[in-house]
Amino acid sequence: MAKDQRAGAGRVQQVGTASVIGALAGAALTSHRGRLATVAGALAGAAGLGAAEALARARQRPGQIPAAWSRILMSGALAAPLGWAADRLTGAHRFTGTDPVPVATAAGAAAGALGLRPQKVLLGPAVGAAIGLGLRRLAPRAPGSVAAAAAVVGYRATSALVFRDAQVSLLAERVKPADVPFVVPLASQTRYVGTGYVRSLAQVLGGSYSPDVHDIGIVADLDELAGPAFDPAGIDPLVREFYEHTTRFALDIVPQWRLWVRPGYLLYRTLLARPLGQANVPMSQREAQHGVRSRIDTISGITGAFGGGAGGGPTGAEAVAVRGWIRSFADTDEPIYVGIYTTYRHQGRGYVSVGFPLPQASFTATLQPAARPGGGLVLDSHSDLDQPGHYLTYIDPRTAELTTAAVRGFAERLDVYVDDGQLRAEHAFWVFGFPFLVLHYRMHRKPTSG
């Protein structure tokens, strides 16, 4: 009953938000016609988009995201105020006969960029320009709000027809952590994650925090990953030692970015990664030469910290429940990333799940282990099994319920092996089947003290 009430309240809030967006869109689309038309447009927009959202939510089935038509309509509504703002910033609203092509092209390009897939990045400005040219002939005085909304709606509709495979699919809505064991449901309580995340998490969970723990691994025991297709007994002792005693090793990293992704990553890093203090991978080998500081912070003394993804190790009051592997630039301690490493078993197989905390959310990579010839270990997110993959999860701050979506366009493979006595790793990433980054690691033992 309580869950149904919360779901109903959530739908009311969603419809209310849609109505506000609709009002802004309606006002932006009609503002060039005078105050009375602006007020009427705002009322019509609020009623129309609110009704559309209510209809879409009513038809939405469990485990599904809202219908494509409603998402496209919402995108157009969001674009309209931005097009209106573009007119004001450029002063174009002062002139008659404003050319709608530049605004439509820019709006289409922005929408395409949000799609991430290279084909969509190229499709966006092309569709935007085509719609802008059409508006130039049909409505040469079309304001920026109309041009932007039309371009985004046209691009989204075209994209839905051309790219029919789902990039993101809703897996679970308002469920308990135990229902999605492949998710690490640990969020950041603030807008900045940073190297102090595990310390702040210990205060939330009420556990015992230990910084920079000596002689500990990202997994407690590699045998936890055993399964029908993976026998840990065949793993090289040096590879096993790295996983079970990670802090014995120092890391050198060399990033290898594909040229096509570098401009987009630079924008992402500047606007999101650095302000967030998370997922801030070095841009170049020169930057990586400043060195990487690697440490593991832990939280102990708590029971049932976060559902299915256990920290590994012995059970009991002082068992390590959270292992946070924190990497930062050695000279500034600026975060590279903060990952919560866990292992769990499902249907006789072991998996590694790495959670990357985000504000009120978590991005999880669940990886399947496999042996590599020569005693190496491969962890791969691509599998025919239902557990591996990448998952974006919203964590309700009041109820701790999870809403999880599968990010099917993302893939990664971590290959750790020994080459001529040297411990190495290659961490490769793909988006929509296109390789975009390989991180090359060299791991060597830290000098022993005393």
What pLDDT is stored for residue 304 in this prediction?
57
Task: For 250-273, write each residue's pLDDT tens digit.
Answer: 999 999 999 888 888 888 899 899
What pLDDT is stored for residue 302 in this prediction?
83
pTM of the model: 0.74
How far is Cα 92 from Cα 245, in angstroms, rounded to an integer? 62
pLDDT at 317 over 80: no
> Residue 130 — φ and ψ, nearest 5°?
-60, -45
What pLDDT is stored for residue 99 in this prediction?
80
How far is Cα 339 from Cα 294, in angstroms, rounded to an integer? 11
pLDDT band for position 443 (cuts 50, 70, 90): very high
More confident residue, 16 or 141: 16
More confident residue, 64 or 224: 224
Give the 3-state secondary structure of residue 188.
strand
Task: For 326-356, write each residue's pLDDT tens digit.
Answer: 999 988 999 999 999 999 999 999 999 999 9
What pLDDT is stored for residue 315 in this prediction?
39
How far is Cα 70 from Cα 58, in angstroms, rounded to an integer? 12
DSSP string, 269-306: IIIIIHHHTSS---SSHHHHTT-EEEEEEEEES-SSSS
Q: Residue 79: what residue type?
A: A
What pLDDT is stored for residue 95 in this prediction?
46
How far is Cα 336 from Cα 302, in angstroms, rounded to an integer? 28
Cα separation values, 394 from 170, 234, 361, 406, Å: 11, 38, 4, 12
Return the residue matching tokens 């967006």: 21
H helices of 60-186, in order, are 68-90, 101-114, 118-138, 144-162
Cβ atoms of 343 and 224 closer than 8 Å: yes
Cα separation values, 99 from 92, 137, 141, 446, Å: 9, 10, 7, 63
Task: For 96-124, write each residue's pLDDT tens digit.
Answer: 446 888 888 999 888 887 776 677 778 88
pLDDT band for position 360 (cuts 50, 70, 90): very high
What pLDDT is stored for residue 89 in this prediction?
78
Rg (CA), the chain: 25
N-to-C CA span, the chain: 63
Round the average pLDDT of the chain to a whole number and report it.
87
Q: Which helix (H) or strand (E) holds 60?
A: none
Share of the chain above pLDDT 70, in %: 89
pLDDT at 434 over 90: no
pLDDT band for position 313 (cuts 50, 70, 90): very low
